[in-house]
């Protein structure tokens, strides 16, 4: 046995190799789990040198792999499949750690445009994830992993450039189902002062085209753009003041009279006071109602329907009479 640091001579290695040939001591035997664990522990952290790797590669050249022509049994295939689909938490952790930072084989590398193109082409029509959805647990994990992470200015710029002229979303419209989901998700959400400030800063200096203004105005009036005849200018009457608005809110118990029913205490702002017939000069108690800002914005379309709805509501609650 050579001392530590010493190596076997080529002649000794050859003798050992010849002596091992036909050795049936380990034939058909398997290592115990304990032995496997010891071997694994002994090999941890050890890396084969380039020279060793080269020798191993050379020694395997021309040899026929042991599993050539052999077929895996259904049981073995099932085990492999299950192991891949449901790796243990320990295995996942190891895999994750093994790909982090400098350990990642792509660390410091940049994919060429040609490679990116090939990957893009290869992914087209890929049906592995087609129709599949992330589980709630997966979504939660992804959300937790992204918390606190911010895109750099450089990344934001690249993303912006990549989206320019993107035809995937050009002319795309949300389905009614998607709109409903977005609406439900936004209900009761309160935008922080910080977010409002950011939105305000982001919109400063933005120029809105006249065509967009006209479309927005028509939408708010609940009419088609073809029927639009100008911006709503209606000035308020003289009795439209803080005192009147406070009286309306007090009458409605400081609660939004639409479905959300949010109380003033749970809102960042005072409730809006809405003119039921959309005539700003008609400022009287039976034509005004308290709404939160979110619900108020919803009443800018289908105006005739909302007018009838609110008149019926106030008539039932306060006994107001309206002409039909």
Output 212 or 28, whichever has higher pLDDT: 212
pLDDT tens sequence across 44-87? 878 888 888 888 888 888 888 878 888 888 888 888 888 777 77
Position 264 in a domain: yes
Q: How far apart are the first and last CA of the chain?
A: 109
Judged on CB neighbours under 10 Å (0-12, 13-18, 19+), 289 is buried
Q: Is the pLDDT of residue 229 over 80?
A: no
Give the confidence band of 187 by pLDDT, cuts at 50, 70, 90.
Answer: confident
CB-CB neighbours of 290 under 10 Å = 24
- In a domain, residue 258? The reply is yes
Token pair of 245 as six digits = 């608005």
Partnered with residue 53 across adjacent β-strands are none
CA-based radius of gyration for the chain: 36
Query: Strands 288-291 and 272-275: what pairing?
Result: antiparallel
Read off the tokens for 281.
Answer: 């000069």
Both tokens of 18, joined, read: 């010849």
Beta bridge partners of 291: 272
pLDDT tens string 96-122: 887 877 778 778 788 888 888 888 887
| 23 is a domain residue | no
* Residue 89, pLDDT score: 81
Write the CB contacts of 134 (distance below 8 Å, at least 6 apart in sequence). 142
Number of domains in the chain: 1
Helix (H) or strand (E) holding 288, with range, is: strand 288-291
> CB under 8 Å to 281, separation ≥6 — which residues?
234, 235, 236, 237
- List of residues 6+ apart from 125 with CB closer than 8 A: none
Instruction: At 12, list the tokens.
Output: 């000794």
CB-count burial class (<10 Å; 0-12, 13-18, 19+) for 276: buried
167 or 265, which is more confident = 265
Residue 288 falls within a domain, yes or no? Answer: yes
DSSP label at 101? G
Residue 305 lies in a domain: yes
Residue 280 lies in a domain: yes
Domain that includes residue 260, residue range: 248-318
pLDDT higher than 80, residue 235: no
| Selection from 186, 190, 294, 296 nearest residue 245 by Cα | 296
User: Helix or strand or coil: residue 255?
Assistant: strand
pLDDT at residue 70 in the model: 83
Which distant-in-sequence residues (6+ apart) come within 8 Å of 322 by Cβ? 286, 311, 315
Residue 269 located in a structural domain: yes
How many CB atoms are closer than 10 A to CB 87?
Answer: 13
This prediction's pTM:
0.36
Mean pLDDT across the stretch 223-240?
69
């Amino acid at each position: 046995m050579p001392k530590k640091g010493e190596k076997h001579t080529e002649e000794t290695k050859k003798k050992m190799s010849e002596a091992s040939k036909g050795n049936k001591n380990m034939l058909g035997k398997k290592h115990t789990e304990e032995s496997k664990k010891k071997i694994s522990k002994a090999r941890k952290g050890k890396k084969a040198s380039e020279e060793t790797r080269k020798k191993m590669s050379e020694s395997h050249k021309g040899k026929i792999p042991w599993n050539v022509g052999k077929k895996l049994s259904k049981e073995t295939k099932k085990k492999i499949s299950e192991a891949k689909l449901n790796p243990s938490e320990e295995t996942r952790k190891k895999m994750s750690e093994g790909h982090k930072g400098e350990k990642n084989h792509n660390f410091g590398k940049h994919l060429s445009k040609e490679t990116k193109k090939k990957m893009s082409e290869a992914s087209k029509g890929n049906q592995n994830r087609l129709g599949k959805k992330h589980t709630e647990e997966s979504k939660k994990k992804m959300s937790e992993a992204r918390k606190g992470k911010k895109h750099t200015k450089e990344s934001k710029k690249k993303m912006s450039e990549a989206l320019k002229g993107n035809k995937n979303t050009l002319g795309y419209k949300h389905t009614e189902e998607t709109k409903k989901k977005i609406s439900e998700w936004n209900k009761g959400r309160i935008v922080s002062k910080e977010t409002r400030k950011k939105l305000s800063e982001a919109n400063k200096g933005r120029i809105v085209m006249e065509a967009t203004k006209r479309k927005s105005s028509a939408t708010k009036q609940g009419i088609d753009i073809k029927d639009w005849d100008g911006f709503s200018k209606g000035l308020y009457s003289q009795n439209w003041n803080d005192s009147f608005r406070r009286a309306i809110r007090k009458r409605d118990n400081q609660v939004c009279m639409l479905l959300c029913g949010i109380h003033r205490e749970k809102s960042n702002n005072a409730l809006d006071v809405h003119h039921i017939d959309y005539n700003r000069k008609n400022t009287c108690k039976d034509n005004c109602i308290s709404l939160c800002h979110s619900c108020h914005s919803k009443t800018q379309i289908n105006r005739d329907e909302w007018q009838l709805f609110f008149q019926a509501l106030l008539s039932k609650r306060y006994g107001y009479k309206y002409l039909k």
